[in-house]
Amino acid sequence: MKQFPAFLDLSGRRIVIAGGGAAALQKARLFAAAGAELFVVGRPLVPALAEELADRAVLIERTAVANDFAAATLAVVAEDDEARAEALAAAAREQGALVNVVDRPELCDFLTPSIIDRGEVVVAVSTGGAAPVLGRRLRAQIETLLPARLGELAAFARSFRRAVAGKVPPPLRRRFWERFFDGPLAAQVLAGDARGAREAMLAEINRADAEAAGEGVVHIVGAGPGDPELLTLRALRLLQEADVILYDRLVGEEILALARRDAARVYVGKAKSNHALPQEEIEALLVRYAREGKRVVRLKGGDPFVFGRGGEELDALRAAGVRAFVTPGITAATGCAAAVGMPLTHRDHAQAVTFVTGHAKGEGDPDLDWSALARLGHTLVVYMGVGKARRIAENLIGAGRAPATPVAVVENGARPDQRALKGTLAELGALIEEGGVKGPAILVVGEVAALAEACTLDALARELAERAAA
């Protein structure tokens, strides 16, 4: 570590900035936010100084001199002239101030970091003056990870510190707070409802006992269709907090890589007719880990409540008395639709959309109301329908859907190996077979499918012919 980070209470402390340009303005903004007694001395002063800071800083329009630094805790020199900057820095240091000279790290006693300011919660990033742009990049990345109301959450927790200390004995206190920050109350505060959370927090404190403090928790989390950027911010946070992650076949390595390095990863995935773990065993494992006091994430492709058996897992956890929460994910239908520019509803083409599973028990047809699904102006999205595509098309045509109805097939949507094909309902079986679609894929039937950015059977045949000729 080249520099030691420390957080200063600057309220009422004198800070003097020598210089009146853009760099001085930038530093003045930083220190004004910290409640310091701020002096800016320079000539000329950029107008924004007066516009933004007239009520929070003393602005003096003249060249800075050594005496300006008297009684200053911190001094910032934002002067272009190198010799003048060095002389002012020396004078400030002589009078007991810690000095920062803009863009001259070798002359600095302290550096100003890139700051993420959430009120009570402050994160500072420094590259030791080596690469300020990198520092700003890191700040932007961290910004996206931190909920906007983090400061409110910290203030909320502070307001209950004494009450918790009075009720929960020290060995269990940390666990209490971990449960609070992982649980629905913190989520409620982060969602802007601190008032509503207060009563429940009091009840929680009153209930706090040894047993509750040892409890684990299971979060059933949707990982989206594959692209890590389609994770929700909450899913990302839960992944980074989890002790154990139980994940499915459809969750890729790129998403797992976002988890804490030391989290245990348990593959429980299922491929059709290749069940890695029966459903009851997955549920038993979730209960067992939670009872060991672990923070468990059950990570599922897409959304856990859309053909994801999330409902069964939630039931099992509730029946076992385990605290469980659900974080939604982007389901394959919406993820794939966005990836190929195909709206699922459209004022001109489709006023309704239905998600169905093409999966049937055994070899038969899925048990669906084909005439309801064959309606005009209606988009049908079939999950797990690749193996039954031909039968699905026959059933829909038999129920009155026109053979010329547009269809699209999106395989590995929102992943690097995404493929999209389109044609007519009569061609659906051929699209799957000639396109070599293995899945995971969704089938989309309805007028909107014509809008998909996808390859047609003709184009596919040309492509195959060209490949064979090459």
Ligand X SMILES: C[S@@+](CC[C@H](N)C(=O)[O-])C[C@H]1O[C@@H](n2cnc3c(N)ncnc32)[C@H](O)[C@@H]1O
How crowded is residue 251: how many other Cβ atoms within 10 Å of its Cβ?
23
Which residue number places its CB atom closest to ligand X?
A: 302
CA-to-CA distance for 192 and 292, rounded, in angstroms?
A: 32
d(CA 389, CA 382): 9
Number of residues that bind ligand X (CB under 6 A): 24
One of 383, 388, 425, 445 touching ligand X (CB under 6 A): 383
For residue 281, give the amino acid letter: E
Q: Is 440 in the site for ligand X (CB under 6 A)?
A: yes
| Nearest-angstrom CA–CA distance, 343 and 328 | 20
Residue 414 in the binding site for ligand X (CB under 6 A): yes
Closer to ligand X by CB, 442 or 448: give it: 442
**Closer of 174 and 272 to ligand X (Cβ):** 272
Tell me the DSSP string of 249-267: TTS-HHHHTTS-TT-EEEE
Binding residues for ligand X restricted to 314-353, rule: CB under 6 A = 331-332, 336
Would you say 190 or 384 has its CB closer to ligand X? 384
Q: Does 366 sit behind a cis peptide bond, omega within 30 degrees of 0 on the bond before it?
A: no
Instruction: By CB under 6 A, name the one of 68, 152, 283, 303 that touches ligand X.
Output: 303
HSE toward the beta carbon, residue 437, CA cutoff 13 A: 34
* Number of other CB atoms surrounding residue 167 within 10 Å: 17
Selected catalytic residue, list 68, 182, 248, 303: 248
Q: Which of 38, 57, 75, 306 binds ligand X (CB under 6 A)?
A: 306
Using the rule CB under 6 A, is 410 a contact of ligand X? Answer: yes
Q: Is 262 a catalytic residue?
A: no
Q: Is 250 in the site for ligand X (CB under 6 A)?
A: yes
Smallest gap, in angstroms, from Cβ of residue 381 to ligand X? 9
Complete edge-to-edge strand list for the sheet that includes strand 217-222: 264-267, 244-247, 295-300, 217-222, 323-327
Q: Is the peptide bond before 44 cis (omega within 30 degrees of 0)?
A: yes
Least distance to ligand X, CB of residue 329, Å: 7
Rounded distance between C-alpha atoms, residue 66 and residue 140, angstroms: 37
| Catalytic residue list contains 422 | no
Q: Which is nearer to ligand X, 127 or 412 (CB)?
A: 412
Question: Which one of 87-95, 136-144, 319-327, 409-417 is the stretch in contact with ligand X (CB under 6 A)?
Answer: 409-417
Nearer to ligand X, 224 or 406 (CB): 224
420 is written with which tokens? 């999209």
How large is the angle between the packed helices 233-241 and 132-145, nearest 10 degrees?
A: 100
Residue matched to tokens 């900057």:
85
Interface of this chain with ligand X, residues 41 to 80, rule: CB under 6 A? none
**Residue 413 binds ligand X, judged by CB under 6 A:** yes
Q: Which residues are catalytic?
A: 248, 270
Applying CB under 6 A, the residues found at the interface with ligand X are 225-226, 250, 300-303, 306-308, 331-332, 336, 383-384, 410, 412-415, 439-442
